[in-house]
Homo-oligomer: A and B are copies of this chain.
Amino acid sequence: MSPADAAGPADVVVALDVGGTGMKCALVRPDGSTVHTERHPTDAGRGPDAVVETILDVAEGLAGKARADGLDPVALGIAVPGVVDEAAGVAVWSANVGFRDVPLRDLAAARLGLPTALGHDVRVGGLAEARLGAGRGTGHVLFVAIGTGIAAAHVVDGVAATGAHGAAGEIGHILVRPGGPRCGCGRDGCLEAVASASAIARRYAEATGAGLTGTGPTGAAGGGGLAGGGLAGGGLAGTPASAADVADRAAAGEPAAARVWAEAVEALADGLATGQSLYDVEAVVVGGGLAQAGPRLFDPLRAALHERMTFHRRPRLAAAALGDEAGCLGAALLALDAR
């Protein structure tokens, strides 16, 4: 029986997707439709205790809003970035949000009195894409979020692998270019250091000698946000070129942009090929800010990935379909699964 089958007509899940800057919030029906959304600032600089208080206040407010609208809040799902121990309900390490071993699931369950699940932002995003989005109907899906960082979720039959310590899917930190650019994790040549949206912007700035401040690679396990920035941006005279600008300039034939973009695509293809060698999936779904580049990303990436498939079965390569709602939807699914 699927969660939707078991649901009452007024059932909704309170869902929060907490990022470093803001938190996306929603009331989600068991069938995955969204009946209400809100956004709130995270304001992580206030420290983890204040952020937890805000999360609990916002969640409580959403549950109250649901009841006022005649709906029945039946569960709470919260997604956070970093390393998340889903089984224990603990935000082990979230650099962006300032969390370190925060037992967020139990704190929230105690405050709201609802069955609560805590998930990892990219893993729940992958869950949502696999079950409701671009991977719908596909048993084995690899979801890859490319934003300020790069992270993945391996979803089999609607369940995302967590790993032993909540740290599975760190595809941004696999070696693709030995001796290559230094990554935020401290190693050289990680995929994220070549092909994240922020790496593309940084490498283009380096290649063209343009000034660029404060946009070094992100810390390990801190990036990969679902719709995290990095693609949108600039293009104004004097501001650094974003990854979107690099894609535009590459399409227009500018040599430095074309080189940086091609190097990123090749590195991504190497990383996805490694993922396929290990996971053997039917579909690779790419989301996050960089996916907004559309065919400028997907056409050359598909060709480069398929070129690397020798004995492998070629996975379908698709753009994520749920946009920045994926985190809330996935947090809601996780909460329904855990109920």
Contacts and interface: CB of A to CB of B under 8 A. Distances in A.
Interface stretch (A73-81, A96-104, A306-314): A306-314
A166 interface: yes
Interface string A259-300: 000000000001001110111111000000000000000000
A173, A277, A281: which has the most chain B beta carbons within 10 Å? Answer: A277
A170 B310 contact: no
Nearest to A267: B178
A277 B310 contact: no
Interface string A70-89: 00000000000001000000
A311 B152 contact: no
A200 interface: no
Given A175-B270, A175-B273, A273-B175, A311 B167 contact: yes
Interface stretch (A58-66, A156-164, A203-211): A156-164
A133 interface: no
Nearest to A152: B278
Interface in A163-195: 163-171, 173-178, 185-187
A220 interface: yes
Give the top 3 A-B pairs by smallest Cβ distance, nearest first: A163-B280, A140-B164, A220-B311
B173 A311 contact: yes
Given A140-B163, A164-B139, A270-B175, A310 B185 contact: yes
Interface of A: 83, 93, 139-140, 152, 154, 156, 161-171, 173-178, 185-187, 219-221, 270, 273-275, 277-282, 308, 310-313
Contact of A280 (B165, B277, B280): B165
A300 to B, nearest CB: 18
Nearest to A165: B313
5 contacts: A162-B280, A164-B280, A177-B178, A186-B310, A275-B278
Contacts of A311: 83, 93, 167, 170, 173, 185, 219-221
Given A185-B311, A274-B274, A312-B170, A281 B221 contact: no
A168 B273 CA distance: 12
Nearest to A164: B140
A339 B93 CA distance: 42
A178 B140 contact: no
A58 B275 CA distance: 38
Given A161-B279, A187-B308, 14 more contacts: A156-B161, A164-B280, A164-B281, A165-B313, A167-B312, A171-B277, A173-B277, A173-B310, A175-B274, A185-B311, A219-B311, A220-B310, A220-B311, A275-B278
B167 A313 contact: yes
Contacts of A219: 311
A173 B278 CA distance: 9
Contact of A279 (B93, B163, B221, B313): B163
Nearest to A312: B167
Nearest to A266: B178
A270 B162 CA distance: 22
A270 B280 CA distance: 20
Contacts of A185: 310-311
